[in-house]
């Protein structure tokens, strides 16, 4: 433990429109993970960061899909409400943005141009989209036009490119800045890299030199020390953390401490982790309107992450996967030894998805031109999906 008194902040935050993000840390949107129960846990550990909801498909929102609307909900404790939209049809994305503004559903809107999932890129969406600079500009222009009068800052999240021969980040960031976005987040991988290997932080440094809006660096932050290293190596204005906080919401306390210049870190015992799991489960029950089965099913992946590295046998882990309600869950948690210390050796190691793409899927002829032709426009807009989950 260190003396907490006199620390010099390493980085004091960045502006998102008129809103100051005091701790320059973003919970990176993760489909199926960053719903409000998880965000609340993270924000409790690290207040003053930015906690972004998982992506919502614009078409689903416009179609009034109840699952999409569930994802727009926030907990009362979430004072700054941050949503992310995905879509390829500019008119639909604009309509979804207008619904968000008119319904006062968010205080910040992020646009997803980074998803690498085949079902998305094969339709020209996510990380495939910035290749078509006119389409990218059209979407951003329309969304900013809807959000700006309401004082809602718009941001965009991109990858470096499609593969090593088809970089997109420079043109994309120039458009993002030119169209009035408040900041840009760069996941420093190509679509082809998917989640494999290490992200190329030099690309974040390159982007920082190119644009004047805040640049948020993203990729492979597994510990507070990684976050400090990214800022030092790239000059980025903040960091976005995805997989590193899976099963470790307390990472946001470490990040807050690190940026405030403190080396205090959180290292919970298994008993303390069990308390977090139970709290997470109760919040999920609220999220699913009292449905305990849905809550404990959603929790399964989180439990695997929470228990990662602890000496808990396969039999016990399997028993968690068959829990059907909170009582089952409590019984399993009670059977664990609360005294077991946190496996610190694992705390800065990769977790979650870590593989390369087998192949990048794109619409036919996509790479032939940086602009959309009429035929592409027609087939793309028609196939804009309602379900574009990761
Ligand atoms: C399960 C999963 C779901 C994700 N969902 C989204 C999403 O909805 N929107 C988005 O922009 N990025 C999404 N991402 C990407 C992350 O936000 C982040 O950019 C990526 O994981 C790299 O950061 P990391 O190395 O800190 O994990 C997802 C990643 C994972 C692993």
Return the residue matching tokens 């205080």: 107
Determine contact, residues 296/323, Cβ cutoff 8 Å.
Answer: yes
Is 6 contained in some domain? no
Q: Could you tell me if the CB of 29 is within 6 A of ligand 1? A: yes
Is 7 contained in some domain? no
- For the chain, the domain total comes to 2
Residues 245 and 172 in one domain: yes
Residues 318 and 254 in one domain: no
Q: How many Å lie between the centroid of ligand 1 and the Cα of residue 261?
A: 27
pLDDT tens-place string over residues 200-221: 999 999 999 999 999 999 999 9
- CATH code for position 170: 3.20.20.70
Q: How many Å lie between the centroid of ligand 1 and the Cα of residue 28?
A: 6
- Expressed as residue numbers, the domain containing 331 is 270-346
Residues 172 and 311 in one domain: no
Tell me if 208 is assigned to a ligand binding site. Answer: no
Residues 230 and 338 in one domain: no
Q: How many Å lie between the centroid of ligand 1 and the Cα of residue 353?
A: 9
**What pLDDT is recorded for position 2?**
42
Residues 286 and 225 in one domain: no
Q: Could you tell me if the CB of 221 is within 6 A of ligand 1? A: yes
Residues 321 and 189 in one domain: no
Q: Which residue lies with its CA nearest to atom 1 of ligand 1?
A: 30
Is 4 contained in some domain? no
Query: Can you give the pTM of this predicted structure?
Result: 0.95
Residue 64 burial (CB < 10 Å; 0-12/13-18/19+)?
exposed
Is 261 contained in some domain? yes
**What pLDDT is recorded for position 352?**
79
Strands 166-167 and 154-163: antiparallel
Tell me if 187 is assigned to a ligand binding site. Answer: yes
Q: Is 115 a catalytic residue?
A: yes
Nearest to 136 by CA among 104, 172, 181: 172
Nearest to 221 by CA among 188, 180, 190: 188
Q: How far apart are CA 92 and CA 119, in angstroms?
A: 19
| Residue ranges in the chain whose pLDDT is less than 50 | 1-4
The DSSP element (H or E) to which 366 belongs, if any, is none
Q: Which token pair is 189? A: 């991988």
In the chain, the N- to C-terminal Cα span, in Å, equals 40
**What pLDDT is recorded for position 385?**
67
Is 231 contained in some domain? yes
**What pLDDT is recorded for position 3?**
43
Tell me if 157 is assigned to a ligand binding site. Answer: yes
Residues 187 and 291 in one domain: no
Q: Could you tell me if the CB of 187 is within 6 A of ligand 1? A: yes
Q: How many Å lie between the centroid of ligand 1 and the Cα of residue 150?
A: 28
Q: Which residue lies with its CA nearest to atom 6 of ligand 1?
A: 30
Q: Which of 30, 68, 114 has the most ligand 1 atoms within 8 A of CB, as the residue to mutate? A: 30
Is 163 contained in some domain? yes
Dihedral over Cα of 243, 21, 250, 55: its sign: negative
Residues 207 and 302 in one domain: no
Residues 285 and 318 in one domain: yes
Q: Which token pair is 229? A: 């290293």
Residues 42 and 63 in one domain: yes
pLDDT tens-place string over residues 302-327: 999 999 999 999 999 999 999 999 99
Residues 314 and 172 in one domain: no
pLDDT tens-place string over residues 279-304: 999 999 999 999 999 999 999 999 99
Q: Could you tell me if the CB of 67 is within 6 A of ligand 1? A: no
Strands 108-113 and 154-163: parallel
Q: How far apart are CA 85 and CA 126, in angstroms?
A: 10
Q: How far apart are CA 131 and CA 300, in angstroms?
A: 37
Q: What are phi and psi of 72, to 5 degrees?
A: -90, 0
Is 5 contained in some domain? no
Question: DSSP string of 193-236?
Answer: TTT-S---HHHHHHHHHH-SS-EEEES---SHHHHHHHHHHH--
Cα–chain center distance at 83: 10
Is 250 contained in some domain? yes
Q: Which token pair is 156? A: 């965009």
Of 115, 183, 236, 323, which residue is the catalytic one?
Answer: 115
Q: Could you tell me if the CB of 112 is within 6 A of ligand 1? A: yes
Return the residue matching tokens 């998803």: 115
Residues 197 and 286 in one domain: no
Q: Which residue lies with its CA nearest to atom 28 of ligand 1?
A: 30
Q: Could you tell me if the CB of 54 is within 6 A of ligand 1? A: yes
């Amino acid at each position: 433990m260190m003396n907490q008194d006199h620390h010099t902040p390493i980085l004091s935050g960045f502006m998102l429109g008129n809103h100051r993000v005091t701790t320059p840390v973003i919970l990176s949107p993760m489909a199926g993970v960053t719903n409000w129960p998880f965000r609340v846990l993270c924000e409790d550990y690290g207040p003053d960061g930015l906690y972004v909801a998982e992506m919502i498909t614009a078409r689903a929102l416009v179609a009034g899909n109840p699952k999409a609307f569930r994802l727009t909900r926030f907990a009362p404790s979430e004072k700054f409400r941050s949503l992310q939209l995905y879509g390829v049809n500019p008119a639909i994305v604009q309509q979804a943005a207008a619904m968000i503004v008119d319904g006062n559903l968010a205080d910040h809107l992020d646009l997803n141009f980074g998803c690498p999932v085949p079902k998305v890129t094969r339709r020209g969406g996510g990380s495939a989209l910035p290749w078509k600079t006119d389409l990218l500009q059209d979407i951003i222009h329309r969304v900013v036009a809807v959000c700006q009068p309401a004082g809602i800052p718009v941001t965009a999240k991109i990858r470096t490119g499609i593969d090593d021969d088809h970089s997109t980040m420079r043109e994309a960031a120039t458009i993002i800045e030119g169209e009035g976005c408040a900041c840009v987040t760069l996941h420093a991988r190509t679509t082809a890299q998917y989640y494999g290997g290490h992200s190329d932080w030099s690309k974040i440094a390159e982007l920082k030199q190119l644009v004047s809006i805040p640049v948020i660096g993203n990729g492979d932050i597994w510990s507070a020390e990684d976050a400090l290293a990214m800022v030092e190596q790239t000059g980025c204005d903040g960091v976005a953390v995805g997989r590193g906080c899976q099963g470790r919401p307390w990472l946001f306390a470490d990040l807050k401490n690190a940026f405030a210049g403190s080396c205090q870190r959180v290292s919970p015992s298994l008993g303390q982790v069990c308390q977090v799991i139970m709290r997470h489960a109760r919040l999920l029950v609220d999220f699913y309107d009292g449905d305990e089965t849905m809550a404990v099913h959603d929790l399964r992946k989180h439990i695997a992450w929470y228990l990662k590295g602890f000496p808990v046998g396969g039999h016990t882990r399997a028993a968690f996967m068959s829990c059907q309600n909170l009582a089952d869950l409590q019984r399993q948690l009670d059977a664990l030894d609360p005294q077991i210390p946190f496996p610190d050796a694992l705390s800065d190691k990769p977790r979650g998805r870590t593989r390369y793409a087998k192949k990048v899927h794109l619409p036919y002829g996509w790479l032939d031109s940086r602009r959309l032709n009429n035929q592409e426009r027609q087939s793309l807009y028609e196939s804009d999906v309602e379900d574009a989950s990761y």
